[in-house]
């Protein structure tokens, strides 16, 4: 028979309750131990006594289904579980760090610290979305950090998993979430939109960088529904020194229509990681809310009520980050033409893809390199100009295109480091015709293809018939 656990020293399935670390309205958290298992562990036990909230029980069932299917550094490791027939509980890895709630007394934080937090949280969301899950309750208390600064997301009771029954949606007709962080579409009952998590992250970034919540503390449904048509006060109206590029990113996260936000968490992380490459629009200069007429047009926009039918991972696959490594030397013209053709054909099928054009400026491992070429031109600027000229025929919206001149003693290593750091989904790279040097030393394209943690397409220029050479 199910009964609440509330005493230190009680054992269930070999787990001993050592210390009560949290008593919440929906669950209790116990630090537990078990012979043969090492490392800190937490047991989550739902509140199931008289007057227990039905949503708490259903939320626990959701977490009981979802957490065992998750893996990676951005979630606690699942260890064991018990069902409602005897005693419901979940045992998971304990992340021994305080949540972001500890930062609240220090708000507003420095802009660089907010940016760093945003990148780490967006990374974690990208990993979660790739595992078919929308969190739907991103807030400071649900974000922890490992010693290496990797963000860890906790509490999946309100989450949606594309491949599991959504009990919250099946059993209730009211939206669930934490009021200040809920997206407009959540308020409409849409639970399978991954960009809802980007909206919540935008709320957090706004709050942590200004010290003010963008939509106040409204807890009533009437108050929350205002965000279906009303945008927040721009951060620069609250802090005159607010960086335009950061306002651009934060207000894009907080767009009422999900389609106007970043397509994916990976693309949001990319923008936060490269502020100098941020494409500024009218958002970056705003000092006041949108006009009343604009707000009214949003209020009667029925598109917001249309549910999404595509699974979470389908949206991610339609908006990848693609990196193309371009050799800007004149002798590489045939390869570059072939690369441009392949890139154009790929992007034609991926309207939300982000393209990062790369070139490596090789540096000496033992000597200082001059920043100028023989003609006195700055090498980095010259290569940036050439990269953008190469990409010009693609006619991409500037928000979808960035150019990066990397530095490194080894070109392949520099490309691989960029690919890893920026969650690149696909690499396009040219390969020259065979040569003795490449057979002996190995080629950049071969090393990238062998070591990259993503898909790689190696492109060769068409062979010229001997009679036409």
- Residue 413: strand, helix, or coil: helix
Start-to-end C-alpha separation, the chain: 85
Radius of gyration of the chain (CA): 25
pLDDT at position 437, please?
47
- Residue 104: strand, helix, or coil: helix
Same domain, 211 and 289: yes
CA separation for the pair 425, 352 (Å, rounded): 13
Strand partners, 46: 27
| CB atoms closer than 10 angstroms to residue 39 | 10
Domain boundary among 93, 113, 141: 93
CA separation for the pair 118, 265 (Å, rounded): 10
Domain-located, residue 5 = no
Closest listed residue to residue 142, CA positions, set 159, 161, 160, 167: 159
Task: Tell me the whole-structure pTM to 2 decimals.
Answer: 0.89
Same domain, 463 and 338: yes
| CB atoms closer than 10 angstroms to residue 363 | 14
Domain-located, residue 4 = no
pLDDT at position 221, please?
77
- Longest CA–CA span in the chain (Å) reads 89
Same domain, 312 and 356: no
CA separation for the pair 262, 199 (Å, rounded): 10
Same domain, 247 and 308: yes
Same domain, 342 and 441: yes
Same domain, 253 and 329: no
Record the tokens describing residue 169, joined without a space: 């949606």
Instruction: Express each pLDDT in 389-404 by its tens digit.
Output: 999 999 998 889 999 9
DSSP for 109-168 reads PPHHHHHHHHHHHHHHHHHHHHTTEE----SGGGEEE-TT--EEE---TT-EETTS--HH
CA distances from 36 to 10, 144, 443 (A): 18, 26, 49
Per the structure, the count of domains in the chain is: 3
Domain-located, residue 2 = no
Strand partners, 321: 354
Q: What is the CATH number of the domain that holds 376?
A: 3.40.50.620
Domain-located, residue 274 = yes
pLDDT at position 469, please?
46
Domain boundary among 40, 70, 93: 93
CA separation for the pair 450, 444 (Å, rounded): 10
pLDDT at position 436, please?
46
Query: Can you tell me which residue has the tokens 């890139």?
Result: 343
Closest listed residue to residue 233, CA positions, set 208, 220, 251: 251
Closest listed residue to residue 107, CA positions, set 234, 206, 191: 206
Domain-located, residue 184 = yes
Contact (Cβ atoms closer than 8 angstroms) between residue 232 and residue 206: yes
Domain-located, residue 1 = no
Same domain, 138 and 266: yes
Domain-located, residue 367 = yes
Query: Helices marked H in 349-431 — which ranges?
Result: 379-391, 411-421
Record the tokens describing residue 269, joined without a space: 């992380």
pLDDT at position 153, please?
98
Same domain, 309 and 324: no
CA separation for the pair 195, 312 (Å, rounded): 10
pLDDT at position 232, please?
94
CA separation for the pair 236, 284 (Å, rounded): 9
Same domain, 276 and 303: yes
Q: What is the CATH number of the domain that holds 269?
A: 1.10.510.10
- Residue 285: strand, helix, or coil: helix
| CB atoms closer than 10 angstroms to residue 202 | 27
Domain boundary among 316, 333, 361: 316
Record the tokens describing residue 172, joined without a space: 């209730």
Same domain, 341 and 429: yes
Closest listed residue to residue 93, CA positions, set 46, 144, 39, 137: 39
- Which helix (H) or strand (E) segment holds residue 89: the answer is strand 89-93
Q: What is the CATH number of the domain that holds 58?
A: 3.30.200.20
Instruction: Express each pLDDT in 107-147 by its tens digit.
Output: 999 999 999 999 999 999 999 999 999 999 999 999 999 99
Same domain, 123 and 211: yes
Same domain, 184 and 105: yes
CA atoms within 13 A on the CB side of 101: 5
pLDDT at position 377, please?
62
Q: What's the average pLDDT block by block, 10 residues per block, for the chain (469 residues)? A: 68 94 86 95 84 79 96 98 88 95 97 98 98 97 96 96 90 83 92 96 98 85 82 96 98 95 97 93 93 78 56 84 90 88 94 93 60 66 90 91 91 94 94 57 82 93 61
C-alpha triplet 297, 305, 234: angle, nearest 5°: 50
| Domain that residue 24 falls in | 11-93
Phi, psi (degrees; rounded to nearest 5) at 75: -135, 155
Closest listed residue to residue 176, CA positions, set 22, 52, 56: 56
pLDDT at position 397, please?
87
Domain-located, residue 425 = yes
CA separation for the pair 138, 265 (Å, rounded): 13
CA distances from 43 to 34, 96, 304, 307 (A): 11, 14, 39, 36
pLDDT at position 306, please?
53
- Residue 443: strand, helix, or coil: coil
């Amino acid at each position: 028979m199910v009964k609440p656990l509330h005493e230190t020293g009680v054992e269930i399935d070999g787990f001993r309750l050592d210390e009560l670390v949290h008593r919440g309205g929906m669950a209790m958290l116990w630090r537990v131990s078990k012979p043969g298992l090492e490392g800190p562990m937490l047991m989550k036990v739902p509140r199931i006594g008289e007057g227990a909230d039905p949503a708490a029980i259903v939320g626990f069932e959701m977490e009981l289904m979802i957490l065992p299917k998750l893996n990676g550094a951005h979630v606690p490791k699942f260890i064991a579980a018990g069902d409602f027939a005897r005693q419901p509980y979940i045992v998971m890895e304990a992340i021994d760090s305080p949540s972001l709630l500890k930062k609240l007394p220090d708000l507003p934080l420095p802009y660089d610290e907010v940016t760093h937090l945003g990148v780490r949280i967006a990374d974690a969301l990208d990993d979660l979305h790739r595992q078919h899950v929308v969190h739907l309750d991103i807030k400071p208390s649900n974000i922890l950090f490992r010693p290496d600064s990797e963000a860890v997301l906790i509490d999946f009771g309100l989450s949606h998993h594309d491949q599991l029954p959504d009990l919250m949606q099946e059993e209730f007709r009211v939206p669930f979430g934490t009021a200040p962080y809920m997206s407009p579409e959540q308020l409409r009952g849409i639970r399978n939109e991954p960009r809802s998590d980007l909206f919540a992250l935008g709320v957090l970034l706004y709050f942590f960088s200004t010290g003010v919540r963008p939509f106040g503390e409204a807890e009533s449904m009437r108050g929350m529904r205002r965000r279906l048509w009303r945008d927040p006060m721009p951060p620069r109206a609250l802090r005159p020194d607010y960086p335009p590029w950061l306002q651009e990113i934060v207000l894009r996260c907080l767009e009422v229509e999900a389609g106007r936000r970043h397509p994916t968490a990976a693309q949001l992380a990319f923008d936060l990681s490269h502020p100098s490459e941020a494409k500024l629009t009218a958002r970056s200069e705003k000092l006041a809310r949108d006009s009343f007429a604009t707000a009214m047009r949003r209020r009667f926009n029925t598109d917001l009520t249309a549910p999404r039918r595509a699974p979470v991972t389908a949206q991610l696959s339609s908006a990848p980050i693609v990196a193309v490594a371009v050799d800007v030397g004149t002798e590489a013209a045939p390869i570059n033409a072939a690369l441009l053709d392949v890139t154009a054909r790929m992007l034609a099928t991926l309207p939300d893809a982000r393209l990062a054009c790369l070139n490596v400026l090789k540096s000496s491992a033992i000597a200082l390199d001059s920043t100028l070429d023989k003609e006195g031109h700055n090498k980095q600027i010259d290569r940036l100009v050439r990269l953008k000229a190469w990409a010009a025929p693609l006619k991409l919206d500037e928000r979808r295109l960035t150019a990066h001149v990397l530095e490194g003693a080894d070109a392949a290593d520099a490309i691989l480091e960029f690919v890893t750091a920026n969650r690149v989904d696909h690499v396009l790279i040219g390969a020259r015709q065979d040569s003795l040097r490449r057979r002996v030393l190995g080629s950049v394209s071969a090393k990238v293809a062998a070591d990259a943690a993503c898909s790689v397409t190696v492109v060769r220029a068409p062979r010229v018939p001997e009679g036409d050479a």
